[in-house]
A and B are shown apart, each in its own frame.
Chain A
């Protein structure tokens, strides 16, 4: 149990276009989902935290108008990279947490590789 999927697994887009990435918890309801960004050979950097039905909380330095996060249901969160540019190329990873407690385990998706040409 506790499987998180992401779609697409990779995407290539032209500069200036928008890209939507989906994160789904397949066998549990996720009250909280997290979005991370990972650069090659580097750590995961938290971008934002989203709770179902409310606005996402963005980390300092993350542009909320560029990285739109929607958590419309307990099993789906989406990240939309608007007007993507080459510097947005990265590996985007989501995680989902079943409960409200800080000690509840986060389950991670396999990631989405975004390449902006």
Chain B
């Protein structure tokens, strides 16, 4: 069965510091991978996605993620965090294949706190 694990429930970084949020997935074939951000009162917003091709994916708001098949990981990174990045971050895997409707399996989420 497909699953997504985000090992870090809560992370605190100082503004301007670099950030890496971890995501590990379990899926037999090549997955579709996503990172979403959830801010209070707003819907989940897609940061980036990986389907195929270049394993380093650039997203919005200065985020990037790298797909590493050997490690079953899709970690999210940002070189310099801004206070407005404080939010909940979700990694998700979308199963592919003809029998799938594109449903997403989400990780537990990582809460990012940014210190001034």
Residues on A lying within 8 angstroms of B by beta carbon are 4, 9, 32, 34, 41-46, 49, 57, 93, 95, 97, 101-111
Q: Once the chains are docked, how many angstroms separate the CA of A44 from the CA of B88?
A: 12
Residues of chain B contacted by A101 (CB below 8 angstroms): 102
Are the C-beta atoms of A108 and B44 separated by less than 8 Å?
yes
Q: Once the chains are docked, how many angstroms separate the CA of A102 from the CA of B90?
A: 19
In the complex, residue of chain A having the shortest beta-carbon distance to the beta carbon of B42: A110
Residues of chain B contacted by A107 (CB below 8 angstroms): 43, 46
A-B contacts, 27 of them at CB < 8 A, read A9-B41, A32-B102, A34-B104, A41-B9, A41-B109, A41-B111, A42-B108, A42-B109, A43-B90, A43-B109, A44-B90, A44-B104, A93-B44, A95-B43, A102-B32, A102-B94, A102-B96, A102-B100, A102-B102, A103-B94, A103-B102, A104-B102, A105-B49, A106-B46, A106-B102, A107-B43, A108-B44
Q: Chain B contact residues: over half helix, strand or loop, or mixed?
A: loop
Are the C-beta atoms of B43 and A93 separated by less than 8 Å?
yes
B101 at the interface (CB under 8 A from A): yes
Q: Once the chains are docked, how many angstroms separate the CA of A32 from the CA of B106?
A: 18
Q: How far is the CB of A35 from chain B (nearest CB, A)?
A: 11
